[in-house]
Structure formats: C-alpha cells, structure tokens
Chain A
Amino acid sequence: MNTSVKPLDMSANTSETTTHGAVAAAPRTTIRQTLSNALIITRREVRDSFRDWRIIGPILILTFLFPSLAQFVAAQFADFVQGYGADIIGERTIPFLLMIVGFFPISISMVIALETFVGEKERRSLEPLLSTPLSNTELYIGKMLSSMIPPLVSSYGGMTVYLISLLSGELAWRPPAMLIVQIILLTTVQALVMVTGAVVVSSQTTSTRAANLLASFIIIPMTLVIQGESAIMFLAPDAESPSGISSLWAIIFGMCIVTVLLLRVGNAIFNREELLGRTIDKLDLKNAFVKIGRAMRAVDIQGTPARSVIEWYSKGMRLSLGRISSSLRLTVVFFAVVLVAGFLIGTSPQWQLNLPRDLSLRDTALNLDQNINLFFGDHAVMGIFWNNARILIGATLLSIFTFGIAALLLTPLVYLVLGYIAAQLLIAGYSPLILLATLFPHGLIEIPVIVLATAAAVKLGAVITKPGQGVTVGQAWTVALGDTLKILFGLVLPGLLIAAVLEAYLTPIVVRMVLGG
C-alpha cells in the first residue's frame, strides 16, 4: 500500500465556492434544477441495478423471451378456439396477453423500489446521501425514477416485441390502436402505483424482509385490479370501440388519483427526519394509546391536558376544530355540491320519478309513527342514533386507508339522495315545507354533526399526505386521531343522540302539522 504523504491540494474550482471552496448550494427554484439533481441519483442507481444479474436477468427474459412465448400461446389458443367457432375468445386473449407482457416486468419495479429505499436504509448507505445538499424531493424523485425506468423500458420493450411478432405473424386480428394506448397507460400507472406504494411501505420498515412482507398490501390489490382489467377486456361491450374501453379509462383515471395521493404520502414520508428517526420496527401499543389519549385531552399545541370538562370543551375542542378547519371548509363545499348535484340529477327528464300529484298526505301523516316503527322497531331513538353513528364510524375507519376519500364519498351520499328527492317533490308540485319539516327539527343538529365527523375523518385520512412542517407522519397522525376521537365523543355522538331524540319525537309532530294530520 502506498502511504507516501502528499500535501492536500484543495484549491481546485467548484461551481460555486465559499472561502474554502465548499460548494454553496445552488438555488433550487426551478423544476429543471430539481430534475437535474434527481437524475444524478437516478443514473447511479440505474447503473447499479443493471450490474445486478438478479435484476437484469429477469428483465432480459421478460423483454425478449416472454413476449415471443406469449405470442406463440396466443396463436395456438386462437387456432384452438377457432375450431369451435369462438373466434372472439381468441381475439380478446391477444390484448390480455399484451397487458400481461407489459405487467410482468413492472412487477420488478416494486422489488427495485423496496431495494432502493429500504435496502439502502438497511445497508446504512443512505446517511452519506442525506448529508449532501440534495433536497428530500430530489432524492425522492431520483429514487422513484431509478425504480421505474428499468422495468418500464423492459415493459415497453416486451410489448413492442409482442406487437411486432403479432403483426408479422399469421393472426389476422389487429388490436385497436386506442386499446394499445390504454394498455401502455395502464402499465405505466400500475408501475407508478407499485413504486409509490413501495416507498410508503419502505418508510414503515427498517429491513427488506419486513418491507417484502408489507408489500402484500400492494401486490394483492394490484393483482385484483389486473384480474378486473382482464375481465373487462374479455367482457366489455365497447372492446372494439375506436375510443377505447370506457371502464379502462375509468381505471386509468382512478389509478392516477391513487398515484397522486401515494406520491404525496411518499414525498411527506421520504424526508431526513422520518428516515433517520425510525430505528426499530417495534409495536408499542401502550405508548401509542398513551399518546392518543394525551392528544384527546390536550387543550393547547403543547399537549397540556384539560383540567376540567369545561376546559376540555372550551379550549380543547376549539383547538381540535381549528386544526380541522380546512377539512371542514372542504366538506361543507363538497356537501353543498353533492346536494345541488342530486337536485340537478333529479330535474333531468331521464332520472325523474314522476310522482303522483294527488297523493293524500293526510294518510301519510296518520301512519307516520307506524312507518318509523317499521324501520327502527320499538327503540326508535337508539335505532336512529346507531344507524347514523355506524355510518360515520365506518366512514372514519375507511378514511384511514383511503387518505380521507371514503368519508367524502360515503357520508354525502344521503345528501345526493336528499337533493334528488327535493327535486322530485318540487317537480310534482308539493310544498317545499314538507321536505323542510322532515329534515330540520333534528337536522339542525344532525347535519352540522355529520359535517364535523366527516371533516375530522377527512383530516385523519389526508394528514399522512401532508403532515406539516417539522412534524413526522406518525406525530401528525396521532394528533389527528386525538382530534377525531375528541370531536367524536365530545360533539358527534352526543349530537347524534340529541338529533335521534328530536327525530323520533319532535320531527313527526312537525311533519304531521305540515301534512295536516
């Protein structure tokens, strides 16, 4: 080993130097600069991937060998089904196999992503990278691209090989151009979903072993989506349409939304604080419950617990309501939009019920109690309460796994129906007072309470996509859960109970008065 001493020469130029020549971070305001920095990471990682025979081997096989095999199978299958006069089955198999040819290589993208994100964390090679001036976003984009580029190149290559062998083969059937575009788009968004999902999975673990186990949460839904897409390709009535299969467009659109949400979660999670803050994969339920309990009792942002119920309501509840204020505004707007949409749908001729105009409302008024009992039995109050509560609790639970979307889709459905019914009643010439009487005695409490519960659920689901400055996703989520539970137990459930009492006892009286019973 050469150990001769040579004086250090630190005088060479850098792009922008300080006194000692250290690089002052270049301003990173433009997308181009961000992308340029990200590509430094991408180039290194792609090169690294192509040096690993465990990655390059399957990619080569799936690009060149598998498409030819798939084409051969398609030709044999088409010949076979033609013998039974079922040409259509053979024809529908061809785009299905094109999709499979495209999908198999992108399944590798998740393996690369897990390796790139959690593998690097496990090998402790991430910290030197985190010590560089690259921003979290540049690192994230760089790694995302490096996970996607090799499998996508293989996927597009495989599909090209498949299509060339199809066009140069004996099969007469040619897939519609738009269907090919759809399959290419599906392949791309599926790769995006898997990679962005892998980042989220990686963030929850410190070992590739644990990450691979958690990856089932991506693989299984993705497999179900593929099965659904296959079924659509075989069964869709518009399979030959020049504008493509409409259901596939819907799936592409849905996957784009999922990708955007996962990208936001990934970008929120892939930061230095999160990456180095988590050291072991340990489930500490006791600690988690303690923190959630503390967040529930908190009356200020420092987490000071309430000293009395009055303080909890006056200060703690105000704190939580303030934190969900943006979700609250969104929910109110969304509910209003849904109500108006329901009304507009109800006014369009093809959706109108054409209610009879000469109904005896007096009979309805007389049978009101009987109708309530029909739905809720003898315990109308608890029946109404539980009916509303379970919907809100269910929507909240689903929100956790859907970034808040479930709450925004499920709870406003009833307002869509209300808008629709309002339209029918008005078109049939009934007084709007009837609707107001059936809604407002209890609705004055029930509607705000439902809006609050929905907003809290939206916040709880969406907070992981934007945890806030200097706060980890876990911390933000714990606080959001504390707020949700605080609002649920402090306002929503008591509100629903009061609303149920009003709905069972007061609303029927008011309705009877309006209907003239």
Chain B
Amino acid sequence: MIESHELTKYYDDFLAVSNVTLNVPSGTVLALLGPNGAGKTTTVRMLTSILSPSSGWARVAGYDVVQHPEKVRASVGVLTEQHGLYERMKAVEYLDFFGRVYHLDAETRKKRSLDLMERFGLTFALKKTLGEYSKGMKQKLALVRAMLHDPPVLLLDEPTSAMDPQSAKLVRDAIIELQRDQRTFLITTHNLAEAEALAQKIAIIRHGRIIAQGTFPELARRFVGDPLMELRIKGDLNGLAKDIGDMVSVQESGGDWLRYRVADPDATNPALIRRIMGLGIDVVTIAPVSQTLEEIYLQVVKEDENQVGTNEHLR
C-alpha cells in the first residue's frame, strides 16, 4: 500500500509538491491526474525513494521512504516517463541484468522474463537488440522490467501512452489482473478514459497540490452534482416537470424526455415511477446519464483556477 502525509518537495526555492496526502490500500489502483508540470513525476520519485521529501512522510509497502529507501525501491516496480532502455543490449540480456540487480536467482530471472515477455506478446523479440524495438515494444519491455521482481507496488507513468489499442488493452488487462491479486498501483496518465476504467481512486494534482481526491462517484457528486438520470415517457411531457419538481431537480427536457438530478436514485426512482404512473403516464425508460472523468477533471481544474484567481485577487 501507499500512504503519504503532507508530502512536500522544494527544489531550492521552487515548491514542486505541496502537502500531498494519499492513502492507497492494497489491491487499489490510484490514478494521479494533472497537467504537465503539476508535480506528478516528483511525487512518484518521492514515493520511490529517488528524491527525499523536504517535509512530510510517506510509506510504501510498509517502508518509510526516508528511513528505508532501499527496501522501498526493492518493493516497487517503476515505469518511468522515459523508458531509458540500453539500445545495444538484447531484451533477454536487459531483463537478466535487472533481474541480477533485484537479486533474483538465475532460474527465476529466466522464468519471469519469458513469462512476462510472452504475456505482453514480445517473445519473438527476446533476442533482438533494443535499438530495433518500436516505441510501443519499448514501452512494453519497460513494463516487463517494472514487473520483473514481482513487486507489491507498481508506480506507472503513462503506462500505455505509446501503444496501439491492442497492446494498451493487454497492459490494462495485466493491471486489472495484478490488482485483483492485491497489488497496489499508482498510475499517472493523461488518458482519462483509461484512468476511469482502471482506477478505484482518483487524485487530481495541480501546481503541486492535490486539489481533489476520492472515488469516481464521490468526485462526480462533489464537482458535477448528484447523479443525472434520463426519463422517457410515452407521449408528451405536458407539465410533468412541474409535477415531479418536489422530488427531483429537473435539468433539461424535450418532447417526451427530461433529465433530472437526484441525490439517491435507488431510493427516489421507485417513488418517482409510482407517482408518474399515478398520473396516468407510461414510463418507457429511466436510466442514468453517464458522467465522464473528463467532465469531472475539467470542472475540478476550473474550480481550482477560479479559487486561485480569487486568492490572488484578494492578495
């Protein structure tokens, strides 16, 4: 698991990360979202014990990042933004080298390398030099390297950014499979659909601060309001919006449909249907309107921009 409390990092006078508090239990995927330069990489580097925090603390896989940096690094698999492969080496040599660094015995090094290469469809390229690899293949190999020592925590920076859709799905499937096996993931990505599909928790970082954090429904409720439902009836609305206005908040309507927000759909919708039916109107469908992470993200960033603007104005 990953825990951090008010993690802060200064580069000389520049505040790169400010008071980042995270809690990612085992078997959870956290998507850390934010614009370029927001502090994602610095946060990941502190959680990997590559950079030491200026203040605050963090524990990864049960180890304090300052007290036990080597144990932390031994317990995490890291996919860095730049894959940084050794272009003159063959894949098999490359993985063997990292296996040695992680003190895997010869048999384990070989077995894990072959298994993971096969898992990511790279068996055919085992003996190719890495300079011959395509961008997507390099990214997959970097992922194999991150998983080679079977770490309980994986910190992945843009894990599928350079991949074709098929390869990206392979990686997503692998993440889901490992997450079910109680691995903890921290993924930084600009692919919001992917974050939505993979992550149980989402944190949005901007100017080094976590400006929003929680599960998708929590964030949706907080930043874009109660769940949005769409009701379709047989025939015209004929003032139905007014009739149900005391139960739900109607947002928009058309000839035979309307959209409303409701705090607790499970409790409200059955009563709502009963009232509509009581008015002699037939209900055709009632369904949630999906809210995307993109909407939430944009709303969060917009609110933060307004907040920062207000603060600066007051100053």
Contact = CB atoms under 8 A, between A and B. Distances in A.
B170 A5 contact: yes
Contact of A13 (B50, B75, B108, B145): B108
B275 interface: no
Interface in B157-197: 166-167, 170, 173-174, 177-178, 181-183
B102 A124 contact: no
A470 B66 CA distance: 10
Contact of B104 (A23, A51, A131): A23
B74 A22 contact: yes
Nearest to A472: B12
B38 interface: no
B80 A14 contact: no
Contacts of A19: 152, 182
Interface stretch (A184-192, A246-254, A272-280, A424-432): A272-280
Scoring B101, B111, B174 by chain A CB atoms within 10 A of each residue's CB, the highest score goes to: B101
Interface stretch (B84-92, B211-219, B237-245): B84-92
A6 interface: yes
A435 interface: no
Interface string A262-279: 000000000011001100
A350 interface: no
Nearest to B84: A125
Contacts of A14: 102-105, 108, 149-150
A127 interface: yes
A16 B124 contact: no
Contacts of B112: 10, 12
A130 interface: yes
Given A131-B80, A276-B50, A2 B170 contact: no
Contact of A123 (B84, B97, B116, B124): B84
Contacts of A127: 50, 80, 82, 84
Contacts of A22: 61, 74-76, 149-153
Interface residues of A, number: 53
A333 interface: no
B70 A133 contact: yes
Interface in A1-48: 1-10, 12-26, 28, 37, 40, 44, 48
Contact of A16 (B103, B107, B119, B123): B103
Given A23-B104, A126-B84, A133 B74 contact: yes
Contacts of A325: none
Contact of A24 (B71, B80, B177, B182): B71
A135 interface: yes
Contact of B103 (A8, A15, A20, A129): A15
Nearest to A469: B52
A242 interface: no
B45 interface: yes
Contacts of A52: 88
Task: Place the interface of chain B in its size category.
Answer: 35 or more
Interface string B115-148: 1101101011000000000000000001001010
B76 A21 contact: no
A131 B85 CA distance: 13
B125 to A, nearest CB: 9
A335 to B, nearest CB: 36
B74 A23 contact: yes
A8 B174 contact: yes
Given A1-B124, A4-B121, A128 B104 contact: no
A16 B108 CA distance: 12
Interface in B40-66: 45, 48, 50-52, 61
Contact of A128 (B74, B89, B145): B145
B73 interface: yes
B152 A12 contact: no
A12 B52 contact: no
Contacts of B82: 124, 127
Nearest to A123: B84
B61 A131 contact: no
A15 B105 contact: yes
B51 A273 contact: yes
Contact of B71 (A6, A25, A130, A291): A25
A23 B102 contact: yes
A98 B131 CA distance: 40
A8 B71 CA distance: 24
Contact of B48 (A40, A131, A475): A131
B302 interface: no
Given A20-B151, A22-B149, A277-B11, A133 B105 contact: no
A15 B104 contact: yes
Given A132-B101, A277-B11, A8 B149 contact: no
B80 A128 contact: yes
A129 B112 CA distance: 19
A134 interface: yes
Nearest to A17: B150
A18 B89 contact: no
A12 B108 contact: yes
Interface in A42-88: 44, 48, 51-52
Scoring A15, A28, A133 by chain B CB atoms within 10 A of each residue's CB, the highest score goes to: A133
A48 B11 contact: no
B53 to A, nearest CB: 9
B49 to A, nearest CB: 8
A472 to B, nearest CB: 9
B78 interface: yes
B100 interface: yes
A13 B142 contact: no
Nearest to A2: B121
B98 interface: yes
A121 to B, nearest CB: 10
Contacts of B45: 276
B183 A20 contact: yes
A475 B54 CA distance: 13
A6 B103 contact: no
Contacts of A48: 86, 88-89
Q: Which 5 A-B pairs have the closest CB atoms?
A: A125-B84, A124-B82, A25-B70, A21-B150, A20-B152
Given A17-B150, A23-B104, A131-B80, 4 more contacts: A1-B121, A8-B115, A21-B149, A25-B70
8 contacts: A9-B115, A22-B76, A124-B80, A125-B86, A130-B50, A131-B73, A132-B73, A133-B70
